[in-house]
Each structure stands twice: as C-alpha cells, then as structure tokens.
Structure 1
C-alpha cells in the first residue's frame, strides 16, 4: 500500500467513508468484546450492539446509567466499603444518593431525556441487586413501562442468583454480570470474611465454598436460558493473580460471554480491609499480564472503567452529579425523537468506523513482521483521536502487531495535566509513569513542554492524527515504520 493510500486511510475519521452491510469486524479475533455484526450470531449482535459494557464498539457511542436502589448486601468483601464517597472517586459500590424505586425511575426518565446516548440501565448496588430484589424489580418494572428501548441489566455477587433466574428471564433482563474472584475456596477465604445465606452467617473456606457453588449454579442456569453473562474478577496481587487464569477457564466452560479482569482499588482512605492492611492494587502492566494470560479462554473485556453504583454517561465519564434528586425535572414521559435521531447518526458513524477498521486490518497484514507497537490515545469517544493531552483523565492503550490493532485497556490518571490553563508537573510525572511501556501517544493537541518531557521518557507524542480514527491511525504508524525499516535495510 502506498504512502498516499496510508494517509487516506488515517484521514477516514474526518468523514466521507462509506461501507457495505458486510463490512466490519475487529482487528483481532481474540478481542472478544469488540466484535461487529459480521462476527457474531445475529441474535447476539442485537443484544450487545448498543451496550457499552458488552461491546467494545458500542462504548464509543452509547452511555449507561446505574441507579442506586439496592443497598442491602449478603456478603462482605475485603475490598468493599460502601460508606465512603467523594466527588472524585470512581469505584463500584459507591453512591451519593440512595434512591427508592420511584426516585430511581424518575431519574432514569430525566437522564434519558437529557442524554440521548443512554442505552442501558444497570442496577449494581450499592449492595447486591438480587439480595435486594424487591427494590431492583420494582425499579425495572417502572422504567420498562416508560422506556421500552432501554436495555436492563444487573450486577450480582451470585449468592442469591439461582432463585431469581426465572424472573430475570421473564423480565427480559438479558445481561447479567457476576463478580467471581475465585473457584478455589481456600483463596476465597482470603477475599470474603463472611457471607449470609439461609438466615445464617458463614465464614472461612466453608463460606467461600458455598458462594462458589451458588455462583457456578447461577452461571449455568443463565447460560442455559440464553442470558448473556459477563464475569467480573478483581485482581488482587498475591491473592488471586495467578488463580484468575483458572477462573477464566471455568467460567468459559460454563458459558460466560465475557470476562472482565479489573484492578483492585485499595487506597487506605477508602476504609476497606485491604486498604487498611496495606494490600496494594496491581500496576497497569501487572493487570495486562494477567489479561494476556487469560486470552484463549473466555473472551476478555478490556474497556471497563469500574463504574460507581450511580454512574451516568459514557464509560470513562460520570455525569451523575448533574442528576441529583434536587436537580431532576418532573417528567411523565420521554420525547424519543432526539434519541431516535441519535441512533440514526450513530449507525452512519459506525459504518465509517468499521470501514476504517477493516482497512486498518488489511494494512497491518500487508506490513506485518515481528515488531510490536504500543500506543496510548486521548479520546472523548466515537473511535476518534479527539482530546487535548492536557484535558485527558484517562488514556486508551492499544497494541499493534501482525495480528492487528487491539485495545489493551484504559488507564486512568489521578489528575489531568492542564489545570486552570497551566500544566502541572506532578500530573505529568504520574502520566509518564502510567505510560512507561507505551511507544507512542496520540492526541488532538499537545504543548511543547509535555511533548519534550514525554519524548525524553521514550514516549513519542503526536498530534498530527487529530480527529482521525484510532485503529486507522495506529495502522498507518505501523506501516510507516515498516517502510522506514525496509528503506534502511
């Protein structure tokens, strides 16, 4: 492919690209969450195509919201403390307001009117959605009457799951996430101090064994009924890091659709047992190592953001504080015109994105060798390099090699570089540490100072692919380096 053709490919993000109905697909068949319509059975694609947590492609375009209507929980995890909350915190189980089902439904209607990207309502706590089933069910019923186009999904620890499978299926809840951190009770005893089941508190390995059996039974039952199951696992260094490959094999054998290995969050200020006892979380590189080791088993989810139990918006953003009870308008129904128009526009953009990804895959194959390229991207969504370096609160990290371009995950930073128009040296140092294994950083714009410091750290910063498609731009870089290597040979 000529250098002119390579440039045309990278510029596909600016518009004008068309595609046939058969165009699509992920650059890597092992990246399970990123399949397009040509890679999945039609009935599965219809379930996941607009779900940002179950489709890597969808997370560029669609938003989710969680409503905190289920405060009760039947297990204690060493990484959980639902009492703590601050404006800048993002972790499961944390909420600013606990809502009644009626308040939750009111909030969903208000968000749906204001956020046309919203496609999914999830209930993930702040306790357990199934242990607090009465509130969960009532909320879903209220929302389904007003917004039948919204997908319903829930998250659970699985202890109460088997009793509710029939109701889950009857209510058309076709996405369920189960947190499964172990299949070995001895390891489970290090994670769960106790569980509460059949009016009794259980502890130690006996508790973990019971939890394990209930999780496996519930997963089996959901898979047999055609419900898509995503398994979440918290990576705890020194506890279950090596064990998660076995967890991955087991949940795949039982029909899990996706496996999401996510890092332990254990700051001492959060007040969790692990935080107070000094249990550290994994580095980004350690997380990638475990995720890579699981490839070939259950399909890996790489784009998780570990959302709060009251999160609103695209993955990687949280607009929940815009929709607190005191700010909610009183609406009796949602005008769907804007939502319908947004979906039509998304289909156009998706077509262009898929065409660019397919061309990127072809370009990679044409120029493949033993080299690899790791690229960090500042993006606000839609699959584009469209964010200023200084405004980024996270970077999406991609890997390019002979198999194609695939997402490795998102790396959140504690503070963005630009604050009040000025660059923060401490923030830049943290960014460089987080991206220490990255070759290239792509963004819409970057200043001279951070550009120089990144380059000195061995990270090549570039803003010449601004507002172009991510995969196409990375494939172009890969091909250009191949041509340079050929010229030097």
Structure 2
C-alpha cells in the first residue's frame, strides 16, 4: 500500500513529495500541526484548543485536514432505539451502526496500523459500536490498550448511549481518553419512551417510561462525571419530527448546564429499506431546511457541531468520505509495523496550509462584514474534497458543504448528501433532479468544474452554479460572492 513517491492529497491543492517530507520529519522537522498551525479562537482555553485542533469531529476547521477511523469491536448493545438496526456485511450503506466486518482487538490493532501507514491524515481512533462501546467494555479497553502502545499520539474516542458510561469514567480517564460522545435524545422520560422500547440494565430488561427514566439519569450522571474529570463531551441528538424536535431545545439547555463541549443535532434516517421501526412505520426524517432552522434556534446554547456525517461504525478517512472498503481484513498484511514518517510529514505540510487558510478566512470575513446589509444572507453549497478548497467536480460530488454568509460573517452550517450526477462520464437527468431537490434553499453552488447541461438546469431551478473560483479557499470565494450581491466590490468579484 505505502507508496512514498508523489502523492496527491485531497486536502491540498498540489501534489506533495513525501520522500522529501519524510526526510524532513526524520531530521527533526515539525512533527505536529502546532508549528504554524491555525489561530486559536479568542474565546477558547489554550489547553482545550490543543486537544481539539487536530480532531475532525470536535473542530470544524480540523475536519478539512484530518481523518478519523472507527473500529467495529463492540457489537453488543444494552438498549434498543426505534431508529437503529445494526447490520453487518453492508458495504454500500452509510449510517451509524452499519459495518462490513466485526473485529477482535488484535484484528483492530493490525487494521489501525495499516491505515495509519497509508492515510497520513489519520489523527483519531474511535469506537462507535456497532453496539455500545461502554457496554462491550472489555473489547473496547483491550483495543485501546494495544493501539495506544503502538501509536501513542493518536487521539482515542468512544461513542456511547450513556447507560453503562458511569461505570467506566475512571478507566477512560486513566487511559487518557479525553473525547467522549453520548447520544442523548431526551431529558423527559415520557418522550424517551417513544424513542426507546427497552433497555437492559442490572441484569434485567426495562420497558416504557421507567426504562427511559433510568437511561436519562445514567446519561446525566455520566456527563457530569466526564465534565468533572475534564474530558470533552459531544452530545449527539437525533431530530425526530413530531417526537423530540421541539424537545431538543430543552436537551440543549440540560447538556450545556452540565458542561457539554458540543451539541450535534442530526437528522433521523428512516428509509424503510433499513428495517428500523421508524422506517417501517412511516416516521419521516426532517428536511435539510427544518434541521437548519432547529440548529439556528439552538444558537446561544451549547456550542453546535454542524459538520457531522453520521459515520458508519467502521468508517475510515476524512469526514464525508469512507475508505473502509480499502482496508478489509483480507487486504491487510498479516504482520505490519507502524511507520510514523508519513503522518509526521503530512502534519508538516498542513501546518503551513492551515495558517494560510486562517489568514484567507479572516480576510474574507472582513469583506463580508464590510459589505453587509441588514437581512443580507447567502446560502452557498460547495463541492470539495477537503482542505477548505473548492476542488471537486460538480458531477463527482457525493455531498455539498453548505455555508451561510451574513452580517455575522461566514459560517459552516451543514451538508447535503447527493448521488453522483456523473456516472461513467455521462450525466443522469433523473439524478440531477435529486441533486436539485437536495439543494433546497441554496442560492449558489461552487465547484471545480461543471458542464453546460447541469449548469443550465440548475439555473432553471433558480440556483446559480459556477466553477469560476476553482481551487480557491471556500471562504475567499464566498466573500467575493457576498460582496458582489450585497456590497461595494462587484467589479472585483466578477472580474
């Protein structure tokens, strides 16, 4: 797998000579993105920034550059959710709880080392099931203990429903796990009873409101214990229209009061083909604009995460991509030794790139604020492979990142998943109809390249699409667009 020649990284605009960079890293060059890295937010403690700046889930900026990996070592679960159906050997499905193969801790170690040698962007190892990492604790603990010895600088994370979490907080802290995600969908047991048919706790199964009450109390206790130990917590909440959508405002208040670092509100996935209770009974998920409206209402509460991709339990790669099928067990060498040079070399390059990106973003935000008009808001969808640049062909995009420019500045506000428009070099009109539907509310699409036909069809649907800003930083292009729409820099923006 490991080819140390000229390798084109999705996250950077030009190919990188890894042979030269590996030599630099081995000779004592910068081994992390701390030198020349992006600026720390003014309102963030320096210690917290050090822990999140290379974490693609906890830092929106970092997700442009760094990758995560989930190992599916924890299949057992202690609750049943109406939106969950854990499947195996399902390579073409992208949602939580889905994996192609379960792993033992030894297999996970072999896979992580292989990925770390091949994917230099890797910074985080997570266990997100496909069951519950805290309930299947022995496998979780054994996996982390093995991998932390081989790759000591990798960040360790778990995702849990919280029911068994309080039993393991001390061990998590002892293992230096300082990022934990808890899925919390309710703080009112009556609402919880509509989401969870049962839980398994203290050697028995509980149902209804009593089950939801126990789960709620354990989740709050676990969150408070993590906060007391300085462990950063991300709260995942599934937005279920008509069930807990309004209630999530109260959930946000509760988790903020108990020290949650981030609140991630995700849309319900309820395709009947997935076989979940909600899918089979017709419970719909929210539209993209409904999700955004709720997230907008939560601003000012617990800090929001808007760049979540609802990853599989065996995901590999940058957020928005999944390279897991490249690293199935049958493709891995039996014996593999970890070589840190590629990851060190990558961070050397990213350190400078992130500094340049921050400067460009600050300039673009200043342009927007200087051009702002009251009520002037622009929603822009971007086709990107990573690196914060407009570097994806419209027809190849599997998702569009959505940014909002307003008098407040430029903010990432979500993403829209789509099917590829170009299949085998040809565009499919039926697929384009789906893409246009997914771009509800979008004014402008930015991409590296777009053909005349899809561009004309988007225009007919009221959406402007352009490849004028190909390879530019996203914020730089949006700043120019906003100025052209609302401000005094029209000539510069359209030149």
Name the counterpart of 1:397.
402
Name the counterpart of 2:367.
363
Name the counterpart of 1:31.
none
Matched, 1:255 2:259: yes
Name the counterpart of 1:292.
296
Question: How far is 1:39 from its partner?
Answer: 4.1
Name the counterpart of 2:157.
153
Could you report, residue by residue, the CA deviation over 1:116-163 in whole angstroms, capped at 9, with x for unpaired residues? 111000000000000000000000000000000110000000000111
Name the counterpart of 2:141.
137
Could you report, residue by residue, the CA deviation over 1:16-54 in whole angstroms, capped at 9, with x for unpaired residues? xxxx999966xxxxxxxxxx4544211101110111010
CA distance in 2, matches of 1:250, 1:331: 48
CA distance in 2, matches of 1:58, 1:23: 10
3-state SS in 1 of match to 2:182? strand
Question: How far is 1:83 from its partner?
Answer: 2.6
3-state SS in 2 of match to 1:202? strand
CA distance in 1, matches of 2:340, 2:240: 43
Matched, 1:309 2:316: no
Question: How far is 1:331 from its partner?
Answer: 3.7
2:58 to 42, 47, 54: 54
CA distance in 1, matches of 2:36, 2:66: 22
CA distance in 2, matches of 1:37, 1:434: 32
Matched, 1:208 2:212: yes
Matched, 1:110 2:114: yes
Name the counterpart of 1:269.
273
Matched, 1:178 2:182: yes
CA distance in 2, matches of 1:424, 1:342: 37
Could you report, residue by residue, the CA deviation over 1:236-260 in whole angstroms, capped at 9, with x for unpaired residues? 1110011101101110000000000
Name the counterpart of 1:382.
387
CA distance in 2, matches of 1:248, 1:177: 14
CA distance in 2, matches of 1:469, 1:477: 13
Matched, 1:127 2:131: yes
Instruction: Tell me, yes or no, if the aligned pair for 2:483 and 2:489 is still in contact at 8 Å.
Output: no
Name the counterpart of 2:435.
431
Matched, 1:421 2:425: yes
Matched, 1:409 2:414: yes
Name the counterpart of 1:225.
229
Instruction: Tell me, yes or no, if the aligned pair for 1:109 and 1:331 is still in contact at 8 Å.
Output: no
2:460 to 442, 456, 459: 456
Residues 23 and 361 of structure 1, relative CA distance in 2, 3 Å threshold: farther
3-state SS in 1 of match to 2:349? helix
Could you report, residue by residue, the CA deviation over 1:339-398 in whole angstroms, capped at 9, with x for unpaired residues? 101001111110010001111121112111121111000000000000000000000011
Name the counterpart of 1:235.
239
3-state SS in 1 of match to 2:168? helix
List gaps (5 residues or longer) in structure 1. 1-12, 26-35
Question: How far is 1:285 from its partner?
Answer: 0.8
Question: How far is 1:14 from its partner?
Answer: 7.1
Give the paired residue count: 460
Question: How far is 1:479 from its partner?
Answer: 1.1
CA distance in 1, matches of 2:335, 2:352: 31
Instruction: Tell me, yes or no, if the aligned pair for 1:76 and 1:195 is still in contact at 8 Å.
Output: yes
Name the counterpart of 1:444.
448
Matched, 1:70 2:84: no
CA distance in 2, matches of 1:286, 1:84: 31
3-state SS in 2 of match to 1:72? coil
Residues 24 and 104 of structure 1, relative CA distance in 2, 3 Å threshold: closer
CA distance in 1, matches of 2:411, 2:335: 42
Higher relative contact order (CA 8 A, sep 6+): 1
Question: How far is 1:326 from its partner?
Answer: 0.5
Question: How far is 1:486 from its partner?
Answer: 9.2
- The TM-score normalised by the length of structure 1 is 0.92
Name the counterpart of 2:326.
322
Instruction: Tell me, yes or no, if the aligned pair for 1:110 and 1:331 is still in contact at 8 Å.
Output: no
- The TM-score normalised by the length of structure 2 is 0.90
Could you report, residue by residue, the CA deviation over 1:63-111 in whole angstroms, capped at 9, with x for unpaired residues? 0000000010000000111135532211101111011110011110110
**RMSD, matched Cα:** 1.7
The correspondence of residues 330-369 of structure 1 with structure 2, limited to 5 A, is: 330-369=334-373
Residues 303 and 83 of structure 1, relative CA distance in 2, 3 Å threshold: same
Question: How far is 1:450 from its partner?
Answer: 0.4
